[in-house]
C-alpha cells in the first residue's frame, strides 16, 4: 500500500513484487501527480494496481491541495471559489476505515509531507490487527507543523503497536540493516545526519 504515491515509483515496485495473489494499492491526492502516476502504471503494464484520488488522514473532510508547490501539505478548505485558482479540492479518508475490509496488508509506505502522524492516527485499531511493515519519511520539524505531533511521540506510538525501527542507509527499501534502533537512537541518528529527514522502516 502506497500512501502519498506521487509519480508512482514505489507503486510500480509493489506492482512488480506482489504477484498474482495480492494487489498494490495507491493513494495520491495531487491532480497532476495522479495523472503521471496513472501514466507510469500504464507504461510499465501494471494496470491492475488499485489507484485512488484521495488523501489519507485521520478523518473524512475536504482539503485544498496546492498544485504548484512541490511536497505541499494540504490545507483546510474555506469554501472560497478563488481557491480553485491555485488549489485542487480533495477528499480525505481515514486509513482505518479503508482497511477494515482487508484481511492482510503486508507493507505500507507513507510519504505525505509531514502528515504521516495523521495517517497513523487514522489506523490505530486496524494497525494492531493487520500488523504491517511501515516505511516512512521521518521529518520531525515538518511533522510538528503539519500533524501537530512530535517525532518522538510518533515513534513511541508505533512502538506501542509492537513495531521496531531500522533506519535505512539509503533511499532503498531493499537495503535493510539487521540492527534495530530505539526511538532515542533514531532521533540521535537524525541529529547527526546532514539531511533533514531519515527513511525509517517500522518492523512488526
pLDDT in tens, 52-88: 888 888 888 887 777 655 555 666 666 777 767 777 7
Q: Percent of the chain beyond pLDDT 90? A: 21
Its pTM surpasses 0.95: no
Contact 64, 76 (CB under 8 A): yes
Contact 197, 113 (CB under 8 A): no
Domain ranges within the chain, ordered by starting residue: 2-203
The CA-based angle 204-192-135, given to 5 degrees, is: 25
Fold of 2-203: Rossmann fold (3.40.50)
Amino acid at each position: 500500500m502506497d500512501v502519498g504515491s506521487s509519480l508512482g515509483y514505489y507503486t510500480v515496485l509493489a506492482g512488480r513484487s506482489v504477484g498474482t495473489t495480492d494487489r498494490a494499492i495507491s493513494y495520491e491526492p495531487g491532480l497532476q501527480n495522479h495523472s503521471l502516476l496513472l501514466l507510469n502504471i500504464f507504461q510499465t503494464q501494471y494496470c491492475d494496481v488499485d489507484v485512488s484520488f484521495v488523501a489519507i488522514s485521520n478523518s473524512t473532510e475536504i482539503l485544498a491541495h496546492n498544485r504548484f508547490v512541490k511536497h505541499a501539505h494540504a490545507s483546510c478548505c474555506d469554501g472560497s471559489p478563488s481557491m480553485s485558482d491555485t488549489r485542487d479540492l480533495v477528499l480525505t479518508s481515514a486509513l482505518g476505515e479503508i482497511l477494515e475490509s482487508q484481511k492482510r496488508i503486508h507493507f505500507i509506505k507513507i510519504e505525505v509531507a509531514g502528515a504521516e502522524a495523521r495517517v497513523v492516527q487514522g489506523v490505530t485499531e486496524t494497525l494492531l490487527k493487520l500488523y504491517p511493515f511501515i516505511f516512512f519519511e521521518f521529518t520531525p520539524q515538518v511533522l510538528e507543523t503539519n500533524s501537530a505531533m512530535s517525532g518522538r511521540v510518533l515513534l513511541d506510538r508505533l512502538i506501542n503497536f509492537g513495531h521496531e525501527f531500522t533506519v535505512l542507509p539509503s533511499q532503498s527499501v531493499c537495503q535493510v540493516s539487521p540492527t534495530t534502533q530505539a526511538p532515542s537512537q533514531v532521533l540521535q541518528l537524525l541529529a547527526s545526519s546532514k539531511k533533514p529527514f531519515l527513511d525509517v522502516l517500522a518492523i512488526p
